[in-house]
A and B are shown apart, each in its own frame.
Chain A
Amino acid sequence: MWRYIARRGINLIPLLFGISLLSFIAIQLSPGDFLAEVRLNPVVSQQTVDEMRRDFGLDQPIHVQYAKWLWRVLHLDFGYSFAFQVPVMWLIRSHLVNTLILNIAALAIAWLLAIPIGIRAATRQYSLTDNTFSLGAYLGISTPTFFSGLVLLFLAFKTGWLPIGGMTGLDYEDLPWYGKALDVARHLVIPAAVLGFGAAAGLMRQMRGNLLEVLRADFVRTARAKGIGERPVIYKHAVRNAINPLITIFGFEIGHLLSGSAILENVVSWPGLGRLILESVVRKDLYVVMGALVIGGTTLVVGNLVADILLVVADPRIRYD
């Protein structure tokens, strides 16, 4: 097992190298650069623009720029943001925790809802409950997050029960720790619900489908024929076998913990990493995008690794050594 994990860790290196190289080239080849905005300012002279281009190293050939960037990253220096003139790592750090709070809350909602509902829907196929949940799931899958986010914000506005976007209230700094937690929780309700219900919809359909398939398998019939009660058949035999694909999905979701909420973050003004990355891509703040990609790539690989390890735990048939 440990050797497997180590091997996966080593595989990460060429993978990240590949991701970073390709994205670096892709960003540089797409039209325009960070200075586009500056150049449009009539007060700024051409000389100043040229000076900035030299400062940022944007006047050098792409391969030189990449080599320099890579060399710095190997020394754990992710460079400076063009736009903010602060270290990329400071920017990422100041947004990272917020995004994690939101996405972990959403992940918890999604899984705690989807698994039981999926099981219930599968065991009562075509019943009223199943159909109702399925209809809800279709709605959840087909509604884009920015739309449901706006609708919920509007509801919050009409009822006055919840704050309109943001992550903390105006007096957050002066609150005791439990007040702070409560304040963040109040702000978390809308975005976590949007993301959580959206993800739960898809997961529930997956769980239902997998379980239905397993329930038709021979070993389930055998178990029932042996006279085992319906509950142990479902929970001990069927569900354990049906959950494998979901664990793989879980791995992917860990990988998306940092970037999955970018659009919603913009709508509900959640001060997260996704929003930072989105803005950086739009204005071509090269090193912020690169830093975020490296971190995103790492979490994706780590997420998959976690899923693979969980698979071993859940399914004794799987062995890696």
Chain B
Amino acid sequence: MSGRALVAVVVGTLMLSLTGPLRARGGAAIRLPDIEHPKVFAAGKIGRSGGTLVVGEISDPRTFNLIVSQETSSTIPLSRVFDGLVETNADTLEVEPGLAESWTTSPDGKTWTFRLRRGVRFHDGVEFTADDVVFNMETAFTPGVRGGRRDRMTLAGNPMRWRKIDTYSVEFKTQEPFGPFLRTMTFGVVPKHKLEAALAAGPAEFNKTWGVNTPPRDIVGTGPFTMQSYVPGERIVFLRNPRYWKVDADGNRLPYLARHIQLIVPNLDTLRLKFQAGEMDIYGVRPREFAEFKAGEKSGKYTVYEAGPTASTEFLMFNENPKGLTPPKLAWFANTKFRQAISYAIDRTAIANQVYGGRARPLYGPVTPANKFFNNPNVKQYPHDLGRAETALAEAGFKKGTDGVLRDVSGNAVEFTLSTNAENSERVAIANLIRQDLVQLGIKATLAPEAFNTLVGKLDGNGNVEGLVWGFTAGVDPHTSQNIWKSSGSLHRWNPSQEKPSTAWEAEIDRLFDQAATTVDQKRRKQLYNRWQEIVAEQQPLLYLVNALTSVAARNTLANIRPSSFEGGTWNIEQIFYTVPFR
């Protein structure tokens, strides 16, 4: 263990003894000497301090600048270092207090006031205040600063407004009531005193600030771990933040771990060997590996935890873009009966068994059961049924000839290509199974896997694809996917960027999304999004296929492992601990 880690442990132990007399389980409020109202992380077991937790990711972080970071290779390590005003509880998917200890909403739903937690300090000792929050908002809305924050906080072209009330309170205003407001406040807060000079130097300079060539100890946040070192292509090392603002139910300061290391291992097979060899402590088990890992639990001294269904979806889409396709095919694909028939013909159970080793369930709608909050389980389902498929095709005027070939009303044989990105072997396998299913209907589908970049180029151009096996990972709030679902959206892939919705049901989805965006009552929003899920399942613009089940393997010596399919195996890293004193 490094000298610094030892210091951290000693400091940590000191803190523990300091907080000892203040214990108040379930009774009076817990206080810390420096923080009046620490957040109590009540769920889970009371742990012991010390130890190093080693995990692995497949790519290097691209930046340490949280504001411009976009992809998980940067946001996962940075989530150890930074906190949001509010945070998502991965158990319940509810929004909970974070750096803000409480908030209020005005009756019209347009004004939000946050009260900040007093005494929280950045890793370099500077206190976190309302000025930092204001600085983060200013940065996000500075033209030219990259990152998705501005887009997330803009509603129908109207940005949010904000104001510092005093050192510990901030007020936000939106033009209209903004439904997903609270979830946008989960953004991590970066320190003003470290970054204001960079912002003053202009957006181009700011985008480059805190790049991966910055000394890691300069990257300071309020999070559970401080960044200690970064070796490109190898690892990022974090140390315990002795000033963290969360405590366990007994009032012990979190996190328990003294050190946290994230290895960078670009090859999934190597990553897996590293876990099995004991060089790594937590590993995200792929669906196909599940049976083997489960069988090796005893000899490998680890436990496989079920993390439930994933938030990512795989689907089959038919191109309905008049700019990309010509009549016979366009007419088939734009016909709801045709899409429903194909949906009945797809054997989703076979996909689950053959591609995911049985670790997947059929999926019929756009929100997976992982999203406990917004999932609507009562949507139309399409169990594998060739009879219903043929009925639907007949209703749409398709006929199967004596030669076994399906033809449309004008006598055109039904054949098309099935594109997917070649790098994703699971998608290629899925497309192949679908191709086989379609043979039974007399449809000739030709498999056309292509390089990701080529395919995206085609999709962006005039949409010159026919059938497409694709997927994406949705955020908790469906609002974050509005660019996909609204008919004007550029990612409304089957018929993108429409000036006016071309069908009645697309018009209804547009209305539902607009309405949900300006509704603050979450129950009402859930109803609106339920209706959207019903329409999608009925109309099948995207034929959802299967929902994989995730699991995480962790050493038996680790406790409080509560993986979440949304937030991963270490979302609650501050309360993970070693039950034995080693490492």
Residues on A lying within 8 angstroms of B by beta carbon are 30-33, 36-46, 48, 51-52, 55, 80, 83-87, 90-91, 94-95, 98, 150, 153-154, 156-157, 160, 163-168, 170-174, 266-272, 275-276, 279, 284
Place the interface of chain B in its size category.
35 or more
Q: Mark B250-272, 1 if CB is under 8 A from A, else 0.
A: 00000000000101111101100
Q: Which of B16-24, B25-33, B227-235, B436-444 lies on the face that meets chain A?
A: B227-235
Interface presence of B339 (CB below 8 A): no
CB–CB A43/B148 < 8 A:
yes
Minimum Cβ distance to chain A for residue B366 (Å): 12
CB–CB A32/B480 < 8 A:
no
CB–CB A269/B233 < 8 A:
yes
CA distance A161 to B68 in the complex (A): 42
CA distance A38 to B454 in the complex (A): 15
Minimum Cβ distance to chain B for residue A270 (Å): 8
CB–CB B456/A36 < 8 A:
yes
CB–CB B472/A42 < 8 A:
yes
One of B211, B234, B483, B489 near A168 (C-beta < 8 A): B234
12 A-B contacts (beta carbon < 8 Å): A31-B451, A32-B452, A32-B456, A39-B490, A42-B483, A43-B152, A85-B65, A86-B211, A164-B270, A164-B273, A173-B2, A279-B266
Interface presence of B326 (CB below 8 A): no
Residues on B lying within 8 angstroms of A by beta carbon are 1-3, 52, 54, 59, 62-63, 65, 68, 70-71, 144, 146, 148, 150-152, 154, 204, 207-208, 211-213, 229, 231-235, 237, 261, 263-267, 269-270, 273-274, 276-277, 279, 451-454, 456-458, 460, 472, 474-475, 480-484, 489-491
CA distance A276 to B264 in the complex (A): 13
CA distance A284 to B458 in the complex (A): 16
One of A94, A153, A271 near B273 (C-beta < 8 A): A153
Name which residue of chain B comes closest to A36, CB basis: B456
Which residue among A31, A52, A156 has the maximum number of chain B CB atoms within 10 Å of its CB?
A31
Q: Determine the chain A residues whose CB is within 8 A of the CB of B483 once the complex forms.
A: 42-43, 45
Taking A84-B211, A168-B234 as contacts, is the C-beta distance between A40 and B456 under 8 angstroms? yes
Taking A36-B456, A42-B491 as contacts, is the C-beta distance between A95 and B232 under 8 angstroms? yes
CB–CB B270/A269 < 8 A:
yes
CB–CB B456/A41 < 8 A:
no
Minimum Cβ distance to chain B for residue A59 (Å): 14
CB–CB A85/B266 < 8 A:
no
One of B231, B277, B451 near A157 (C-beta < 8 A): B277
| Ranked 7 nearest A-B pairs via Cβ | A271-B233, A32-B453, A31-B457, A86-B211, A36-B456, A32-B457, A31-B454
Q: Determine the chain B residues whose CB is within 8 A of the CB of A279 once the complex forms.
A: 59, 266
Q: Determine the chain A residues whose CB is within 8 A of the CB of B148 once the complex forms.
A: 41, 43-44, 48
CB–CB B62/A83 < 8 A:
yes
CB–CB B453/A157 < 8 A:
no
CB–CB A94/B235 < 8 A:
no
